[in-house]
Chains A and B, each alone.
Chain A
Amino acid sequence: MERSEIKPFIAKRVAKELHDGDVVNLGIGLPTMIPDYLDPSIKITLQSENGFIGLAAADPESPDAAYIVNAGGQPAGIEKDGMFFDSATSFSIIRGGHVDATVLGSLQVDEKGNIANWIIPGKMVPGMGGAMDLVVGAKKVIVAMEHTQKGSPKILKECTLPLTAKNQVNMIVTEMGVMDVTPEGIVLKEYNPEFTVEEIQAATEAKLIIADDLKPMV
C-alpha cells in the first residue's frame, strides 16, 4: 500500500462502524476524513467539543462564518438542525454518555484498552484538550491510526507514555487490520490481505488473539 493510501483506507473502514443517527465526535487529522466514506443512506451527527452539535464544512457565504470554528480552531459551519452551547454543556454531553462514538488517533494503545495520546514527556506537551473526557464518556471508542510508528509497534502489552485513560478503547483500526479490545486481550477480526497474520503480529507488541471467523478487511 502506498503511504498516501493508508489514511483513506483506515477512514473508509472506520466509516462502516458508524450507524444511522449516531452522535459522533471525530478527532483531528485522519478521523475528519471519515464522513467522506459514509454510505449515503447513513446520516450521522457530529459533535464539536468547543460547543456545538451539527458540525459541517465552513460556508464562507454565511454571515456567521467568522464566528464558527471546529475543535482544531479552523473555520467550520453548522447544520440546519445544529445548535451551539457552552463548554460545560458540551462536556456534559460527552461525559454523560450522549456521544455514541468517538474516533481518535493515538500514540500508543495496549491490550487492556489503555490509551496514551496526549504527551511525550520532555518532547511534546500539547495538553489533553477534550480527549480524556471523550474516551471516558463516549459509548464506543475507536482508535484509528497507522499500525506502527515508522516500524516500531504502537499496539503494546502496556503503554509506556502517560495515559489519556484506562480501559476505555473498544476497537482499533489500522492499515493492517481491525481489532477488538476484549477482557481476554486484542482480537484480530479482520486483516488487510496485503499482509499475512504473521506480519501483523510482528508489527504488534501485544499478543494478538486471532478470531475464529477472521475475515479480509474490505
Chain B
Amino acid sequence: MAKTKVISAKEAASFVKDGMTVMIGGFMTNGTAESIIKEIAASGAKDLTVICNDAGYQGVGTGRLLANGQIKKLIASHVGLNKECGQKYSAGELDLVLQPQGTLAEQVRAGGAGLGGFLTPTGLGTTVAEGKDIITVDGQQYVLEKPLRADVAIVQGYIADESGNVRYKGSTRNFNPLMASAADTVIVEVEKIVPAGEIGPDYVETPHIYVDYLVLKEEA
C-alpha cells in the first residue's frame, strides 16, 4: 500500500527554491495552504513565478509572498482586492499576466492532463488574444491557450488518508485539485490525516498518485 510522507510546513517550504514556478491553490485565500505559505515567506525564496487565481489579500495568502518581495511574476485572473499588487505592478516591480479565470483553470488542467493546449472563445477581440494563435474550427474562431505547469504546487485539502488521497471542503476546492495534477512536486496541506481507506474510493477527489507530501495544518 502506498504511503505518503508527512512533513512539516517548514520542510514543505524548502522545496521552493529561487527562480521556481509555484502554483498556489485557493480563491481569495479560501483554500490557500497558509501554514506552508508562512514558511515560504520565512524561507525568503525569491524570484518566484507564482500561478494563483488572485493576489490574495494584503499580507495574506499569495499576498504574503508579494508583500515580502518574493514574487517576480504573477499569473492570475484577478488582483483587485490586494492594493499592493497594483502598486507593485505600476512601480514596475512585478511582472503581471492576467488571464480569464476559466482560461487559467483550464491551462492548469491541460498542464496536468498532458494536453498541448485548448481552444476557447473567451478573450476573442480583446487584449487577452493579442500575440496568441486564433484558430477557426467549423467557422467559429477560438484562441489557442497553452498549458501551465509548475515546479511545486501548494495545495489545500481538508482531509487526507495516509496514502495521500485527498478530499476538499466547501468552496476551498477551486484550483486545488487542478494544481495537484500539474506540478513536479505536489504538497497538500490538510486538517486531518486518517487511516487509508477511511475516505472511501468513491469519495476521493484527488488521487494519491498525484500527491508527493502531506502537511498537517499548523495552528497560527
Contacts and interface: CB of A to CB of B under 8 A. Distances in A.
Do A and B form a real pair?
Answer: yes
Interface of A: 48-52, 64, 66-69, 72-73, 76, 78, 84-88, 90-91, 94-95, 114, 124-133, 136-137, 162-167
B30 A86 contact: no
Contacts of A84: 168, 170-171, 173
A163 B126 contact: yes
A87 B53 contact: yes
Which residue among B57, B101, B104 has the maximum number of chain A CB atoms within 10 Å of its CB? B101
B105 A127 contact: no
Contacts of B109: 88
B170 A132 contact: no
Nearest to B29: A73
Contact of B171 (A50, A114, A130, A132): A50
B136 interface: no
B98 A127 contact: yes
B179 to A, nearest CB: 10
Contact of B122 (A73, A126, A132): A132
A86 B171 contact: no
Given A64-B169, A95-B120, A50 B30 contact: yes
A68 B125 contact: no
B148 interface: no
Contact of A163 (B102, B125, B172): B125
Contact of B128 (A52, A76, A87, A132): A132
A93 B134 CA distance: 23
Contact of A124 (B86, B123, B158, B170): B86
A166 B100 contact: no
28 contacts: A49-B101, A50-B27, A64-B169, A68-B30, A84-B168, A84-B170, A84-B171, A87-B27, A87-B105, A91-B101, A95-B102, A125-B80, A125-B90, A125-B96, A126-B86, A127-B98, A128-B77, A128-B98, A128-B101, A130-B77, A130-B102, A131-B100, A132-B103, A133-B100, A133-B101, A133-B122, A136-B124, A137-B121
A108 to B, nearest CB: 13
Interface in B125-139: 125-128
B172 A67 contact: yes
B105 A128 contact: no
Interface residues of B, number: 48
B217 to A, nearest CB: 12
A164 B126 contact: yes
Contact of A165 (B79, B90, B126): B126
A200 B169 CA distance: 49
B110 to A, nearest CB: 9
Given A50-B27, A125-B86, A166 B125 contact: yes
Contacts of A67: 30, 158, 169-172
Nearest to A166: B125
A82 B62 CA distance: 29
Contacts of A95: 102, 120-122
Contacts of B89: 125
Given A69-B28, A162-B126, A51 B178 contact: no
A130 B178 contact: no
Contacts of B90: 125
Contact of B101 (A73, A85, A130, A167): A130
Contacts of B105: 86-88, 90-91
Nearest to B126: A163
A88 B29 CA distance: 18
Contact of B79 (A69, A76, A126): A126
A49 B158 CA distance: 20
Given A67-B30, A86-B105, A51 B81 contact: no
